[in-house]
Structure 1
Amino acid sequence: MAKIPTSRVDRLLSSMGYGSRKEMARMAQAGGILLDGADLTDLSQRLAVTPDLPGRLEIDGAPLDPVPGLVVMLNKPLGMTCSHKEEGALVYDVLPLRWQRRDPQISTIGRLDKATSGLLLMTDDGELLHRVISPKRHVRKTYRASLARPLSGKEAALFGSGQLMLEGETKALAPARLEVLSPTEARLSVTEGRYHQVRRMFAAAGNHVEALHRESMGELCLPEDLAPGQWKLLDQEEIARIFR
Structure 2
Amino acid sequence: MKLVKLIANLGYGSRKDVAWMFREGRITDAAGEVLYADDKVDPAQIHVDGEPLDPPPGLVLMMHKPLGVTCSRKDPGRVVYDLLPPRYRIREPALSTVGRLDRDTSGLLLFTDDGALLHRIISPKAEVTKVYEATLAQDLRGDETALFASGTLLLESETTPLAPAALEVLGPRHARLTVTEGRYHQVRRMFAATGNHVETLERVAVGALTLGELQPGAWRALDAEDVARLFAAAPARER
Q: Secondary structure at the match of 1:136?
A: helix
Letter matched to residue 75 of structure 2:
E
Tell me the percent identity: 56
TM-score, normalised relative to structure 1:
0.90
Name 1:13's counterpart in structure 2.
Answer: 7
CA displacement at 1:47 relative to structure 2: 5.8
Partner of residue 116 from structure 1, selected from 96, 105, 109:
105
Query: Contact conserved, 2:149 with 2:166, CA < 8 A, in 1?
Result: yes
TM-score, normalised relative to structure 2:
0.92
Name 2:205's counterpart in structure 1.
Answer: 216
Moved more, 211-220 or 25-34: 25-34
Question: Counterparts in 2 of 1:1-244, with a 5 A limit?
Answer: 7-35=1-29, 38-43=33-38, 53-54=43-44, 56-223=45-212, 225-244=213-232
| Distance (whole Å) between structure 1 residues aligned to residue 24 and residue 81 of structure 2 | 32
Q: Secondary structure at the match of 1:142?
A: strand
Unpaired runs of 5+ residues, structure 2, are: 233-239
| Distance (whole Å) between structure 1 residues aligned to residue 217 and residue 23 of structure 2 | 38
| Distance (whole Å) between structure 2 residues aligned to residue 36 and residue 242 of structure 1 | 31
Aligned residues: 231
Post-superposition CA distance 1:113-143 (Å, at most 9, x none)? 0010111111122221111011110111010
Question: Cα RMSD between the aligned structures?
Answer: 1.5
CA displacement at 1:46 relative to structure 2: 6.4
The 1:195–1:101 alpha-carbon spacing in structure 2 relative to 1, beyond 3 Å, is same
Unpaired runs of 5+ residues, structure 1, are: 1-6
Query: Contact conserved, 1:32 with 1:59, CA < 8 A, in 2?
Result: yes
Query: Contact conserved, 1:179 with 1:186, CA < 8 A, in 2?
Result: yes
Letter matched to residue 71 of structure 2:
C
Query: Contact conserved, 1:8 with 1:47, CA < 8 A, in 2?
Result: no
CA displacement at 1:63 relative to structure 2: 2.1
CA displacement at 1:42 relative to structure 2: 3.3
Letter matched to residue 92 of structure 2:
D
CA displacement at 1:36 relative to structure 2: 6.4
Q: Secondary structure at the match of 1:16?
A: helix
Query: Contact conserved, 1:25 with 1:41, CA < 8 A, in 2?
Result: no
Letter matched to residue 226 of structure 1:
L
